[in-house]
């Protein structure tokens, strides 16, 4: 594993990209200019966090018309999100590129290092 410009090993930096979602994703994306692995995981963390927030808002609007269904499904939906979040952190720690559908491709395409 290579070291990053922050002095962390790239697998640890990749894991930390997901730790606080948008916040750590942005931090590593803005500070890491040389390591494509870290840039990929920082972008995927940002995209995943934004998509998750949008999904929760949309579900909240839809289920506001049927509150009893919302109370039942929200914990289940959040559990799925947490499972994805943990899988992403584990894959990053193992040094793997794990591409989420659509979001992973966008992150990979935009993680190129610009000179």
Q: What average pLDDT score do residues 53-68 get?
A: 84
35 part of a folded domain: yes
114 part of a folded domain: no
Q: What average pLDDT score do residues 29-53 get?
A: 95
Closest of 72, 82, 81, 6 to residue 42, by C-alpha: 6
- pLDDT value at 114 more than 70: no
Looking at the chain, the whole-number percentage of residues with pLDDT higher than 90 is 67
76 part of a folded domain: yes
16 part of a folded domain: yes
- Overall domain count for the chain: 1
Q: What is the pLDDT, as a whole number, of residue 57? A: 87
Q: How many CA atoms, within 13 angstroms, populate the side-chain half-sphere of residue 54? A: 6
Dihedral angle, C-alpha 102, 107, 110, 114, nearest 10 °: -160
Q: Which domain holds residue 54?
A: 10-105
49 part of a folded domain: yes
Confidence of residue 66 (pLDDT cuts 50, 70, 90): confident
The number of helices, as runs of H, and strands, as runs of E, in the chain is 5, 0
112 part of a folded domain: no
């Amino acid at each position: 594993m290579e070291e990053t410009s922050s002095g962390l090993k790239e697998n640890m930096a990749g894991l930390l990209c997901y730790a606080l979602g948008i916040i750590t994703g942005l931090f590593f994306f803005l500070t890491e200019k040389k390591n494509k692995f870290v840039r990929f995981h920082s972008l995927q963390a940002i995209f995943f966090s934004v998509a998750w927030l949008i999904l929760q808002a949309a579900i909240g609007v839809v289920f506001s018309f049927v509150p009893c269904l919302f109370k039942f499904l929200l914990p289940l939906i959040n559990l799925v999100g947490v499972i994805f979040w943990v899988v992403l952190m584990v894959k990053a720690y193992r040094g793997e590129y794990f591409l989420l559908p659509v979001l992973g491709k966008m992150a990979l395409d935009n993680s190129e290092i610009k000179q």
